[in-house]
Structure 1
């Protein structure tokens, strides 16, 4: 039977986790920790429907606390540890959290965030003044928690407009030992089955929705999960060879950085174990995708999905027939492209992409207006612009908020970024609109040159000449600025708003 606790009973010595330091944790050990922490939360008075906040790096402790909350009916808020103390304090207050678990690396922010919580509800990995050691949670407790019911992550959207909003789903009341069929179904989209020798590599922070889901489902389905503390391209290749990794969840920025490794580094590792290297979260430039397929073969699978539910997927073979597409809807998922008035658009016409996942429901916590604004009937939108082709394959253009309107023409920065990033002297690039008195907006690019490349007028001329062979003249940047590094989070998400504000 699948499931953490079932596997701990039936195959207790199977490796569930490899932590960033290389320590292997068995299913029996992970289940025991999750039981102890779960009993500890209940001894504090937490009951199903209460919330906790985690501010932890990728670690065995994070996974154990997550499963503790999962089996005791708690909502788990995964705090991005790049946030300030005040921003995490907002998550504590907004979610109504009853406890916080922080790491000593983030001591200052965790201390500020937990200021409203009683001392007995603050726990730390490592030492934080005013916090109890995590090891004391449930200390001396034995066996499963007294009350067991399935909890849920309460994930916060990135907050591109206003404060982030928590996506809170109703608790199901299900037995946490019974793994939902949707877990096997979701991995089945990518050809991944329970107990078939899979090893998952996690290189991105677990505070991201998809990253957390992939690790949790991997463990639930009897796969070993290998955790990286921070992502490094060559270290990823080393871990793939060392642990015979079969699948991972990646973003296009990681592809770009892997491809930038010298040929001798890329070729010295055995990657023959790879079966399903899944990517999403951002548009992947067509040339970058082709080069990854040339290197890794047909194991590169793309998908498009939302924290709120629903999505598409496309295999390598399909993508070669439909380059640039993010695929067909998942079974039970629905995708439509609507205009601003909510009318369905015909094939080939660009509009807002709307999704639906079966009869699943969600709400933005304490924000009925945002929930209502995102919906048309049972469909909801992430404000992505795209179109469906005549075969029903979805193509994404850009985020509505990122679209540039210059002289009345819609221009999609993702298209321009996808071409500029293919220049050998470009390590990273962001394109956005800046105000212009005549045209409304004009196109600005911010480029991070490859190490050793000198920024300046000569490079600008070279990049514009290169782009001019691949893009219409009206899509060319009017100005190019250079930075030593673009503001991205560790999962590759670009903070374009910071660049706009700076401009």
Structure 2
């Protein structure tokens, strides 16, 4: 399904709402604008399989461009709008974009425009950019004639780049029209989370990330309304849920933590009873945080484990999460989980290894654009339809999956293993800690020691010895040998906007204390 199927039945129904301004894009408008843009792409000579890119803050045009790509059989790359101009330019050129859409409102837009001067077709959104065509003028000049057949395109998003240059994740081509309802993710989300015409989906995250973008598209495929926040704010999110009667939402654990840290009287002043599915993923969620969210929101908290590559996924609901704290769910929905050792051997329950998903022969396989070696490395040596993104984990006797930290994050101090995630989970609930990361640093006697980098909440004055307070607070909450030897207060932790921590960028020189 696509906007046209709903625009004829409910032309004035909001397809998109901006939470901050209340601006509305109806289904009739989304249908016409995405059709005009799709016809413009066709007039430029774009063919199915060609690439385009969009770099913008959360705004309607990202979704319009996404639907235009899906209606032309092309591949669209939504670029992280927080990247530097050079980083964005790398992705735009690496994906071989024939068309690039750039928001002139971005801080580095002018520099990016210069770096993209060699891209064949360039369009600006929001604010003018030299050498670019106006988005609105492009739409005004484009045809509104709907072709008899519109081949379905797809997204080609990029990995986070936490270990080097990001790579494009190329889906296998789909031989279907854009109005074919047989889209696996749409069918899965519909059956598991109940997406439908009455859905009001809240997206508090950046639309260039896979999950928010795909959930918005699923909402439109089912005829619902997507409410878009320009950026996450804990209290504003609660106000938006109440104002619009939000039924579905998608979060990362950091957002849960920041909402839980609101004063109780603030949290309890908003009605969140309309929620039927509060879905989270992207990073490990401390079990205590999830328990508190279920207690607050009710048994509507769902987690899934997957990735942008989407070789498979696991799902877990609130009841299961309370019974299996720390688990990210069971397989059987899209791909079978296998835990394998370093030589590819399958490991028994309880043993940590590389997580592979066995992809059903009827499902498509991903590859890394322009990187055959990385594609090959993502496949099991003996089973070509088993794929991994490199995450580690184990399954229990009931086939519930648990994630484990990468071996490179393990801290060995005096011969004792310390897993940073345990310490990070404890510190995440400290009332004065906004964010935390724990790493190992060299030590003459012990080999390594645990060091915590702490980002303070705004209300914490610089005069306070937050490090000493944190150490005292940890006493009794975790084993003494796990308590960090040093606490470094830092202005901001190096996270990607999708919540992934880039530990390699942590530097003692950045610490205030």
TM-score of the two chains, using structure 2 as the length reference: 0.92
Question: Contact (CA 8 Å) 1:4, 1:177: kept in 2 or not?
Answer: no
1:91 aligned residue? 91
How much has 1:328 moved relative to structure 2?
0.4
Provide the rounded CA distance (Å) in 2 between the counterparts of 1:190 and 1:253.
Answer: 24
How much has 1:153 moved relative to structure 2?
0.4
How much has 1:437 moved relative to structure 2?
4.4
Provide the rounded CA distance (Å) in 1 between the counterparts of 2:379 and 2:484.
Answer: 34
Provide the rounded CA distance (Å) in 1 between the counterparts of 2:406 and 2:138.
Answer: 43
1:335 aligned residue? 337
2:216 aligned residue? 215
2:275 aligned residue? 274
Question: Contact (CA 8 Å) 1:72, 1:147: kept in 2 or not?
Answer: no
Provide the rounded CA distance (Å) in 2 between the counterparts of 1:368 and 1:86.
Answer: 24
Q: Work out which of the residue numbers 364, 372, 377 in structure 2 matches 1:373.
A: 377
Provide the rounded CA distance (Å) in 1 between the counterparts of 2:206 and 2:196.
Answer: 24
Matched, 1:391 2:398: yes
Matched, 1:428 2:435: yes
How much has 1:248 moved relative to structure 2?
0.7
Question: Contact (CA 8 Å) 2:253, 2:283: kept in 1 or not?
Answer: yes
**What's the C-alpha RMSD, in Å, of the aligned pairs?**
2.1
Q: Any idea what the Cα deviations from partners look like across 1:151-210, whole Å, max 9, x if unmatched? A: 110011011222111000122121001133413432145331422x11000110011111
- Report the more deviating stretch, 383-392 or 136-145: 136-145
SS at structure 2 position matched to 1:237: helix
Matched, 1:175 2:177: yes
Provide the rounded CA distance (Å) in 1 between the counterparts of 2:86 and 2:78.
Answer: 15
Q: Any idea what the Cα deviations from partners look like across 1:64-97, whole Å, max 9, x if unmatched? A: 1110011101110111011111111111221111
How much has 1:313 moved relative to structure 2?
0.9
Provide the rounded CA distance (Å) in 1 between the counterparts of 2:219 and 2:128.
Answer: 31
Provide the rounded CA distance (Å) in 2 between the counterparts of 1:370 and 1:438.
Answer: 39
How much has 1:486 moved relative to structure 2?
2.2
Provide the rounded CA distance (Å) in 2 between the counterparts of 1:402 and 1:357.
Answer: 29
Q: Work out which of the residue numbers 417, 435, 457 in structure 2 matches 1:450.
A: 457
Provide the rounded CA distance (Å) in 2 between the counterparts of 1:140 and 1:159.
Answer: 37
2:252 aligned residue? 251
Provide the rounded CA distance (Å) in 2 between the counterparts of 1:93 and 1:338.
Answer: 36
Provide the rounded CA distance (Å) in 2 between the counterparts of 1:440 and 1:40.
Answer: 61
1:123 aligned residue? 124
Question: Contact (CA 8 Å) 2:49, 2:153: kept in 1 or not?
Answer: yes
Question: Contact (CA 8 Å) 2:151, 2:178: kept in 1 or not?
Answer: yes
Q: Any idea what the Cα deviations from partners look like across 1:424-483, whole Å, max 9, x if unmatched? A: 232211111223345443211101223333568954344234334233333221211002
When the two structures are aligned, how many residues end up with a matched partner?
500
How much has 1:147 moved relative to structure 2?
6.0
2:72 aligned residue? 72
Q: 1:193 to 1:222 in 2, by over 3 A?
A: same
2:347 aligned residue? 345
Q: 1:222 to 1:420 in 2, by over 3 A?
A: same
Q: 1:338 to 1:142 in 2, by over 3 A?
A: same
Q: Any idea what the Cα deviations from partners look like across 1:295-336, whole Å, max 9, x if unmatched? A: 111111111111112111110011111111111014242112
Q: 1:146 to 1:19 in 2, by over 3 A?
A: farther
SS at structure 2 position matched to 1:382: coil
How much has 1:408 moved relative to structure 2?
5.0
TM-score of the two chains, using structure 1 as the length reference: 0.94
Provide the rounded CA distance (Å) in 2 between the counterparts of 1:457 and 1:436.
Answer: 27
Question: Contact (CA 8 Å) 1:89, 1:112: kept in 2 or not?
Answer: no
Question: Contact (CA 8 Å) 2:434, 2:457: kept in 1 or not?
Answer: yes
Question: Contact (CA 8 Å) 1:254, 1:492: kept in 2 or not?
Answer: no
Q: 1:142 to 1:431 in 2, by over 3 A?
A: same
- Report the more deviating stretch, 79-88 or 2-11: 2-11
Question: Which structure 2 residue ranges, 5 or more long, are not aligned?
Answer: none
Alignment of 1:185-200 (within 5 A): 185-188=187-190, 190-195=192-197, 197-200=198-201
Provide the rounded CA distance (Å) in 2 between the counterparts of 1:501 and 1:347.
Answer: 39
Provide the rounded CA distance (Å) in 2 between the counterparts of 1:369 and 1:439.
Answer: 38
Matched, 1:108 2:110: yes
How much has 1:385 moved relative to structure 2?
2.2
Matched, 1:290 2:291: yes
How much has 1:341 moved relative to structure 2?
1.6
Q: 1:366 to 1:414 in 2, by over 3 A?
A: same
- Report the more deviating stretch, 468-477 or 420-429: 468-477
Question: Contact (CA 8 Å) 2:340, 2:354: kept in 1 or not?
Answer: yes
How much has 1:417 moved relative to structure 2?
0.2
Question: Which structure 1 residue ranges, 5 or more long, are not aligned?
Answer: none
1:149 aligned residue? 151
2:8 aligned residue? 9
- Report the more deviating stretch, 179-188 or 234-243: 179-188
1:46 aligned residue? 46
- Report the more deviating stretch, 28-37 or 392-401: 392-401
Provide the rounded CA distance (Å) in 2 between the counterparts of 1:456 and 1:434.
Answer: 26
Q: 1:441 to 1:188 in 2, by over 3 A?
A: farther
SS at structure 1 position matched to 2:392: strand
